[in-house]
Chain A
Amino acid sequence: MSEDQELSAALKTRATYHQAPPALRESLRAAVQASGPASHPTAAAPRTARRPAAWNPMQWWSAGAAFAFGLILAIGVVLGLGSAGWLPANGSSGQSIADQAVAGHVRSLMASHLADVASTDQHTVKPWFNGKLDFSPPVTDLASEGYPLTGGRLDYLDRRPVAALVYRRHAHPINLFVWPQAGGDETVTSRSEQGYHVLQWRHAGMRFVAVSDVNAEELAAFADLIKQHDS
């Protein structure tokens, strides 16, 4: 590899790709809808301080609350990256969890090895893990919500065997990796790796990592559903 290629590879795989915070997407939608004649806010408060003069206060405040929420969320995401979630929990100096999860996702598609147990029945998939793992992953079919379960398999992440549950959103497979991890609950954090979206969170002593090429909103909705059913 040439020096430039080496540098390129290092940047592509390890430098931070700043994904737009989901709340920014929402506040943008609101701002777009609020612009123009359809809905002028009448009771808009003036914006204060550091906004450059060219900015348009009326349009801005129409999305004010969502936007403030967006900032909080954006900061949260960044702080979240620093916490254990994105780093290998077992202290390995190798790839991040997100990298490993994306690699697992891509491998499962390349080798046509998406599922060891191909079934849309959660009562078939869940018992299949018995005896193969030292924990029992939560398995929920979300077909009625548009994310049908299609199977499960074993995978290896963070230096341990993990459950990989395979869901589908339209034509896009979603890999959901699950394994036990000590620590309190963590909210969902998101990241993009090589064109895939990666979401991860911790709930009830389990680490969840979802990887897919579906758009960010649909993957976030998927994560919400899993969390709801897991509660």
Chain B
Amino acid sequence: MAAAAVNGMSQPEMAMLPDTKVRFERVALPHLDAAYNLARWLTRNDEDAADVVQDAYLRALRYFDSFRGDDAGSARVWLLAIVRNTCFSWMEKNRRPEMVALEEESLGQDDGAGPRLYEVDTRHDEPESRLLAAADAAMLDRAIESLPPVFREVIVMRELEDLSYKEISGVTGVALGTVMSRLSRGRQLLRQALSQLDRAA
């Protein structure tokens, strides 16, 4: 059928049986909230998040045969990895000035040498607890949104999605140690952003 060629569908997909779709829905749909939450935080708007999630799910369906997991946890990691990669492709295509620094390498390492793009303010002029108590939802959201994507994604997966370091490593494809250092750096940047928002308020 000509439409298949137009769609660029692979042979396995052409042979896809109805029960594959049923199985896919059973495995993948329970993680839709997790998928949307990650995509929404990465794209930072509803419409693009919905687009990306839909694209990611159709990709996941195409590669469903290659999914070997047998529990909800591994299905979530597998699916979020596809969502995450779809998001990053989307960000590459829709590159905006503030999104240029997708990799932390360009943000400078914690080697204490040289100027960094994102300087961490270590002068805490007020107690952490007071700052956090004063931070309402809007402020926390803005602070998360201000993080560069590689830090934003680990914060969202760890704090909002409750994923383990190992699961985050599975989703992002980076080493466990890198996940931990990004998380720790992400928290530092988040505190800095909160403190700036607090001063501005």
Contact = CB atoms under 8 A, between A and B. Distances in A.
Interface of A: 3-4, 6-8, 10-12, 14-21, 24-25, 27-29, 31-33, 35-38, 40, 42, 51-52, 54-56, 58-60, 63, 67, 70-71, 74-75, 78, 96, 192, 215-216
Given A6-B129, A28-B53, 13 more contacts: A10-B140, A14-B137, A18-B41, A20-B53, A24-B54, A31-B54, A31-B57, A35-B58, A36-B13, A54-B55, A56-B58, A60-B54, A78-B46
Contact of B40 (A18, A55, A96): A18
Contacts of A28: 29, 32, 53-54, 57
A6 to B, nearest CB: 5
B24 to A, nearest CB: 7
A25 B129 CA distance: 39
B49 A18 contact: yes
5 contacts: A24-B53, A25-B32, A52-B93, A67-B54, A75-B46
Contacts of A25: 29, 32
B155 interface: yes
Contacts of A15: 137, 140-141, 144, 159-160
Interface stretch (B1-9, B65-73, B108-116, B164-172): B1-9
A114 B46 CA distance: 37
A215 B31 CA distance: 11
A70 B160 contact: no
A37 to B, nearest CB: 5
A8 B16 contact: no
Contacts, number: 135
A14 B140 contact: yes
B190 A37 contact: no
Contacts of B7: 40, 56, 58-59
Given A24-B36, A32-B58, A7 B14 contact: no
B197 to A, nearest CB: 13
A79 to B, nearest CB: 10
Interface in B15-58: 16, 18, 21, 24-25, 29-30, 32-33, 35-37, 40-41, 46-47, 49-51, 53-55, 57-58
Interface residues of B, number: 52
Given A32-B57, A74-B50, A6 B128 contact: yes
A55 B55 contact: yes
Given A6-B128, A31-B57, A52 B90 contact: yes
B21 to A, nearest CB: 6
Nearest to B34: A20
A71 B159 contact: no
Contact of A74 (B9, B47, B190): B47
Contacts of B29: 25, 28-29
B54 A7 contact: no
A84 to B, nearest CB: 15
A17 B160 contact: yes
Contacts of B47: 71, 74-75
B61 interface: yes
Contacts of B55: 54-55
Contact of A18 (B1, B36, B137, B190): B36
A29 B21 CA distance: 9
Contacts of B21: 32-33, 35-36
A37 B4 contact: yes
Contacts of A42: 3
Interface string B118-151: 0000000000110010011100110010000000
B191 interface: yes
Contacts of B8: 56
Contacts of B3: 40, 42, 58
